[in-house]
Structure 1
Amino acid sequence: MSNQVQIRPITAAETYTLRHQVLWPQETPDYIKLNNDDQGHHFGAMYNGQLVSVISLFIDGNVARFRKFATRPDCQGQGIGSKLLRHAMDYARDKGAQRIWCDARAVNEAFYRAFGLEPEGNRFYRGTIPYMRMARDLQEPVL
């Protein structure tokens, strides 16, 4: 399926529906907006003409951070999010980032480890959801 997926730049506003539905459906739609969304690089994965996965990338010098990575539940486990994350990591490296990190939900640790990200520091919570910071160097291409 992932070979039928197109990755393209999108606006921050185009990420909001999936961010809300997938990540924080119990919150108000404004909860998923970031103060610095206008400074981000936002990408979407299109499948059958529909936006099914989104990620927002923020580059600060030689460090990149991805946030609000969300894939529609019925499209998870099919390689779509993996293709989108690879794209964001390659983009960050191409823009000069030497390291990338995210605050990952602990339940997704194995997914991020598959991309070479490793936990840093202690778990923390947003509400009742456990998170951990995960990071990796970007000198090598993402597998």
Structure 2
Amino acid sequence: MTTSVPEIRAIAAEQTYPLRHAVLWPEKPFDYVKVENDGEGQHFGAFLDQQLVSVISLFVDDEQARFRKFATDPKFQRQGIGSVLLQRVIDEARRLGARSLWCDARQDATAFYQRFDMRAEGAVFYKGDIPYQRMRLAL
């Protein structure tokens, strides 16, 4: 766990792109990490000493909420920063009236999401050669 608690702030979609690209899809073109409906989402960043170290994007459609493009700088992973950020998104989804929250998680991250009571749903699928699992949380 980090000794510093990150500051969670709303940010612009464009502020998420560098971390999305560097962490999730560094081998793809920069535009690959942009989501077609980024303008409709809420985007959050975790800051340590004014440095953006983790990002996540939340999309709410009536009672369904989805988060996408959750990325934490590798130098700051496994320090609790992503946990603080995800909890903020869970709280925000509840505040906005969502009844469930889901994501398409990289299979190697499913244990992280299970700590938030998210449950696997459906079969494993692939994006390129990376296995994914849909995870859902009842709110």
Q: TM bucket by the smaller chain?
A: over 0.9
Q: Which residue of 2 aligns with 1:120?
A: 121
In the alignment, structure 1 residue 47 sits paired with structure 2 residue 48: yes
| Pairwise CA distance, 1:136 | 1.1
Structure 2 CA distance for aligned equivalents of residues 123 and 4 of structure 1:
34
Q: Which residue of 1 aligns with 2:36?
A: 35
Q: Can you list the C-alpha shifts for 1:73-97, whole angstroms capped at 9, x where unaligned?
A: 0100000000000000100000100
Q: Which residue of 2 aligns with 1:136?
A: 137
| 1:1-143 superposed matches below 5 A | 1=2, 3-138=4-139
Q: Can you list the C-alpha shifts for 1:15-60, whole angstroms capped at 9, x where unaligned?
A: 0000000000000000000010000000000011100000000000
Could you tell me which amino acid in structure 2 is paired with residue 134 of structure 1? M
Structure 1 CA distance for aligned equivalents of residues 120 and 61 of structure 2:
20
The structure-2 alpha-carbon separation of the partners of 1:99 and 1:2, relative to structure 1 and needing over 3 Å to count, comes to farther
Structure 2 CA distance for aligned equivalents of residues 117 and 79 of structure 1:
17
3-state SS of 1:4 partner: coil
Structure 2 CA distance for aligned equivalents of residues 103 and 32 of structure 1:
15
Q: Runs of 5+ in structure 2 lacking a partner?
A: none
Tell whether the 8 Å contact from 2:120 to 2:135 is kept in structure 1 after alignment: yes
Structure 2 CA distance for aligned equivalents of residues 110 and 4 of structure 1:
22
The structure-2 alpha-carbon separation of the partners of 1:28 and 1:70, relative to structure 1 and needing over 3 Å to count, comes to same
Q: Runs of 5+ in structure 1 lacking a partner?
A: 139-143
